[in-house]
Structure 1
Amino acid sequence: MSPEKERGSKGLSRRGLFTAAGAGGLGLAAGAAGAFAVDRERGRSTDDVVPFHGTHQAGITTEAQDRMHTAAFDVTASTRASLVSLLRDWTRAAEAMTAGLEIGETGAADGAYDSPPEDTGEAQDLHASHLSVTFGFGRTLFEKDGADRFGIADKLPAALIDLPLFSGDALEENRSGGDLIVQACADDPQVAVHAVRNLARIAFGRARVRWSQTGFGRTASTSTAQVTPRNLFGFKDGTSNLKLQDGAQLEEHVWVSGSPASESWLDGGTYLVFRRIRMHIETWDRTTLREQEAVTGRTKREGAPLSGGEEFTAPDFGLQGRSGPLIDPASHLALAHPDHNNGVRMLRRGYNYVDGSDGLGRLDAGQAFIAFVVDPRTHYVPMQSAMSKSDLLAEYLRHTGSGLFAVPPGIEAGGYIGDTLFGS
């Protein structure tokens, strides 16, 4: 059973042994077998472990957890071997953390007294909390400034484009791009932060954090068992999102398959679109309910389309009211709906964020938009282009971060993330 099909399985408490030895005592051996075992505090078993191995990476169709910490990295390693060693080390660490285990032979507190611990320790005594860790590769990993950095430029997927600058974008360089991306999701924020923190620590000397974003209060459901959540504007978000139960739809709109030989390493994977969207909270809060619903295209309480019915009632875009269509053609619902985007759909896994206040006392808050698509050229760019120009909601939004990443397929036991690209 793939990791996405089964969110819960029997697990162990976050203490254990994990075969490791790496550069500077921080990483894991480049060719390590990755076996780990628990030899203490065995008494506590949990049902909150998301399997790490599978056909597809976990953290995509896995039931959306409550918290997120996503980080992009710039690779500083100069050789292919050093990059591969990092990917191996990250894989071994992610295997341990998603199982609820500490990293390394000695974990957070049992190592040499005069050496840094192998695990930072803030997740001691915490369970796995449905932690999933998902990895992706940016375009600049393959080619940057015309240079084939790691001998993989000939395997650059055609769909791994530079996202265009959309109308109204106010992108910040330190919130965009990156060679690698790591998405850690969990039901406990400390577990998610612990995962990214330790991967960043392991990467020292080989990669550095370019940007990171924490999130809470998921803005989409990825299972029919989950209720539709609300965004910071107070509206239900992601009503028509793809679900893990939509097998045929996922094959069509999410999972890459049938690629040409040079891109076949990505078959079974997908593409991750990241957009940091700041919401003009104070302006929205002074807007009438009538306008809020007209802009959104749905009722605020039930999330039903303004054409009538309940939340999951199909919208009737042709239904007329006294002064025109009940659902404004420029509303967010109308412009984002598959009916107006050649039937394409995406799997969203976004989160709300609040990063304090700016110098004017306004909340720096909004949505970390994350979506998985089979091809961003057809499944994201056309829709976002239309929405950035015409969406009534755009007045209340500012896109400050952007990134696109190729997400490799799942990992077999003993393998490492990206082994289909770099070879075993």
Structure 2
Amino acid sequence: MTRPAAPEQPEQAAADSESGVSRRHLLGLFGAGAAGAAVGVAAGAAGVGVAMSTGAANASGSGAASAYPFYGEHQAGIVTPAQDRLHFAAFDVSTTIDRDGLIGLLRDWTDAAARLTQGLEVSEGGAVGGSDYAPPADTGEALGLPASGLTITFGFGPGLFADADGVDRFGLAARRPASLEPLPRFQGDALQPERSGGDLCIQACADDPQVAVHAIRNLSRIAFGRASLRWSQLGFGRTSSTSTTQQTPRNLFGFKDGTANIKAEETADVSEQVWVAASDEPAWLAGGSYLVARRIRMIIENWDRVQLGEQEMLVGRSKGSGAPMSGGTEFTEPDFEAEGPTGATLIDTNSHVKLAHPTVNGGMRMLRRGYNFVDGNDELGRLDAGLFFLSFQRSPEQFITVQRSLAADGLNEYLKHVGSAIFAVPGGIRSGEYVGQALFA
């Protein structure tokens, strides 16, 4: 929802940008009548709910003032045009809370996310409108910033249904999806437990990094005493396009990434490959999806010494245009049988493009929403950088099949998988409901 510019308010510490309305001013427009909730979280008034369910957004996902609807048939942040920034967080639920405590957390998170995605503060009092003698309800670093295309997507990990000892803490074991299991070990895995797993996850995507960080910071704060942050990841420079309105971005190897990704406009493929159907089991997950998260370290220094021709052979595409090595343009379908002057196929048998292609994997595709990351350097002075891979699929088997096919990928010499997690992403949320409500029915 693109908002008109708001008049400047003298008491505001940060001025409104010309492209959007500040969160604080929106409170005056929509916040009246909001009901208080635990740790200062408040559900929006009726006017806010209407805005959240019917607001329009810049289709490219790049408009600084755009706001995507929070309520709907599916959670936002999946087929939504991929934003440029990410803050992803996985949480462990406290052993001190019961089923009602878990539901209370999900209610509070839902109320807060519904407000944050529309450019509002966590609660009506916000960062500066509460008592001088109490901590502010909102941390305040997003004051004056528009919604920036923020989407917040929630997921449930295997540990929510039974812990590592098989204990059913919340009476959910019988409702666990049969395929929601920790992923099997793959070639190239060097997984670090502190970067893997989690009972719950939150994916915050936005076109302003401060807006995404603000969302995770405040949702983590709301969870205090009920869930603790297990690990998190910042991402920049999306490595997949999820709409035909977007150009294909590049990963840190310098190649266009996600050329063949499922796009939101491919409605038949989205329905078949991304969303859990009503006929699938369990019924409570209908309209949802499965999320796989993988932190993939790229061995940048080694890659940067590889000849261009070998880089293109390993990937199977031209580094400049993104076209398959069999010829054409970026979106030309690869011809895996085409031969060069020596009789060898133009696209190498063990190239990434060949091994990841649907024709090699029983027609299976995934919707990817990956991001680049650079987290400083390691103890040897090498960049701690790579791809934070995120994919949504109707069944985890889609990812498993493709990943096993990639065991022969020549790129594996330059990749190390150091983090891994899987989550069931519930379907969309209706106004007045909380995320995953059908699971507890």
TM-score (norm 1): 0.92
**Quick one: structure 1 residues 117 and 33, their matched pair in 2 at CA, closer, same or farther if it must change by over 3 Å?**
closer
The alpha-carbon deviation at position 323 of structure 1 amounts to 5.0
Per the alignment, in what secondary structure is the counterpart of residue 380 of structure 1?
Answer: helix
Residues 227-277 of structure 1, C-alpha deviation per residue, up to 9 Å, x if partnerless?
00000000000000001101110111000013466x100000000000000
**Quick one: structure 1 residues 371 and 138, their matched pair in 2 at CA, closer, same or farther if it must change by over 3 Å?**
same
Per the alignment, in what secondary structure is the counterpart of residue 416 of structure 2?
Answer: strand
The alpha-carbon deviation at position 165 of structure 1 amounts to 1.1
Q: How does 1:398-417 map to 2 (within 5 A)?
A: 398-417=416-435
2:221 to 182, 186, 201: 201
1:63 to 81, 99, 108: 81
Q: Which residue of 1 aligns with 2:389?
A: 369
Per the alignment, in what secondary structure is the counterpart of residue 325 of structure 1?
Answer: coil
2:337 to 318, 322, 330: 318
Q: Report the AA paired with residue 199 of structure 2.
A: D
> What is the rounded CA distance, in whole Å, between the counterparts of 2:146 and 2:177 in structure 1?
38
Per the alignment, in what secondary structure is the counterpart of residue 215 of structure 1?
Answer: strand
The alpha-carbon deviation at position 72 of structure 1 amounts to 0.3
The alpha-carbon deviation at position 382 of structure 1 amounts to 1.5
Q: Percent identity?
A: 59
Q: Which residue of 1 aligns with 2:11?
A: none
1:306 has 2:348 as partner: no
Per the alignment, in what secondary structure is the counterpart of residue 320 of structure 1?
Answer: coil
**Quick one: structure 1 residues 334 and 258, their matched pair in 2 at CA, closer, same or farther if it must change by over 3 Å?**
same
1:112 has 2:131 as partner: yes
Q: Is the contact made by 2:290 and 2:396 (CA closer than 8 Å) also made in structure 1?
A: yes
Per the alignment, in what secondary structure is the counterpart of residue 298 of structure 1?
Answer: coil
Q: Report the AA paired with residue 410 of structure 2.
A: L
Per the alignment, in what secondary structure is the counterpart of residue 194 of structure 1?
Answer: helix
Q: Is the contact made by 1:277 and 1:400 (CA closer than 8 Å) also made in structure 2?
A: yes
Per the alignment, in what secondary structure is the counterpart of residue 411 of structure 1?
Answer: coil
Per the alignment, in what secondary structure is the counterpart of residue 324 of structure 1?
Answer: coil
Aligned residues between the structures? 402
Q: Which residue of 1 aligns with 2:54?
A: none
Residues 338-377 of structure 1, C-alpha deviation per residue, up to 9 Å, x if partnerless?
1111111110000000000111111000011000000012
> What is the rounded CA distance, in whole Å, between the counterparts of 2:85 and 2:240 in structure 1?
12
Q: Report the AA paired with residue 354 of structure 1.
A: V
Unaligned runs of 5+ in 1: 1-7, 39-44
> What is the rounded CA distance, in whole Å, between the counterparts of 1:64 and 1:260 in structure 2?
27
Q: Which residue of 1 aligns with 2:403?
A: 384
> What is the rounded CA distance, in whole Å, between the counterparts of 2:438 and 2:261 in structure 1?
29
> What is the rounded CA distance, in whole Å, between the counterparts of 2:166 and 2:300 in structure 1?
41
The alpha-carbon deviation at position 78 of structure 1 amounts to 2.3
Q: Report the AA paired with residue 131 of structure 2.
A: A
Q: Report the AA paired with residue 212 of structure 1.
A: S
The alpha-carbon deviation at position 34 of structure 1 amounts to 4.2
> What is the rounded CA distance, in whole Å, between the counterparts of 2:199 and 2:414 in structure 1?
31
Q: Which residue of 1 aligns with 2:45?
A: 35
Q: Report the AA paired with residue 396 of structure 1.
A: Y
The alpha-carbon deviation at position 47 of structure 1 amounts to 4.9
Q: Which residue of 1 aligns with 2:357?
A: 337
Q: Which residue of 2 aligns with 1:3?
A: none
Q: Report the AA paired with residue 254 of structure 1.
A: V
Unaligned runs of 5+ in 2: 5-20, 49-56, 58-63
Q: Which residue of 1 aligns with 2:289?
A: 270
2:374 to 341, 354, 379: 354
Q: Which residue of 2 aligns with 1:13?
A: 22
The alpha-carbon deviation at position 109 of structure 1 amounts to 0.7
The alpha-carbon deviation at position 128 of structure 1 amounts to 0.1
Residues 324-348 of structure 1, C-alpha deviation per residue, up to 9 Å, x if partnerless?
1111111000000111111111100
> What is the rounded CA distance, in whole Å, between the counterparts of 2:122 and 2:244 in structure 1?
34
1:171 has 2:191 as partner: yes
Q: Is the contact made by 1:49 and 1:128 (CA closer than 8 Å) also made in structure 2?
A: yes
Q: How does 1:272-287 map to 2 (within 5 A)?
A: 272-287=291-306
Q: How does 1:53-132 map to 2 (within 5 A)?
A: 53-76=71-94, 77-132=96-151
**Quick one: structure 1 residues 152 and 412, their matched pair in 2 at CA, closer, same or farther if it must change by over 3 Å?**
same
Q: Is the contact made by 1:297 and 1:327 (CA closer than 8 Å) also made in structure 2?
A: yes
Q: Is the contact made by 2:88 and 2:204 (CA closer than 8 Å) also made in structure 1?
A: yes
Residues 111-153 of structure 1, C-alpha deviation per residue, up to 9 Å, x if partnerless?
1112110000000000000000000000110011211111111
Per the alignment, in what secondary structure is the counterpart of residue 251 of structure 1?
Answer: helix
Q: Is the contact made by 2:65 and 2:146 (CA closer than 8 Å) also made in structure 1?
A: no
**Quick one: structure 1 residues 243 and 252, their matched pair in 2 at CA, closer, same or farther if it must change by over 3 Å?**
same
The alpha-carbon deviation at position 162 of structure 1 amounts to 1.3
**Quick one: structure 1 residues 343 and 217, their matched pair in 2 at CA, closer, same or farther if it must change by over 3 Å?**
same
Q: Which residue of 2 aligns with 1:41?
A: none
Q: Is the contact made by 1:184 and 1:192 (CA closer than 8 Å) also made in structure 2?
A: yes
1:254 has 2:274 as partner: yes
The alpha-carbon deviation at position 36 of structure 1 amounts to 6.7
Q: Calculate the aligned-residue CA RMSD, in Å.
A: 1.7
> What is the rounded CA distance, in whole Å, between the counterparts of 1:232 and 1:279 in structure 2?
8
Q: Report the AA paired with residue 250 of structure 2.
A: R
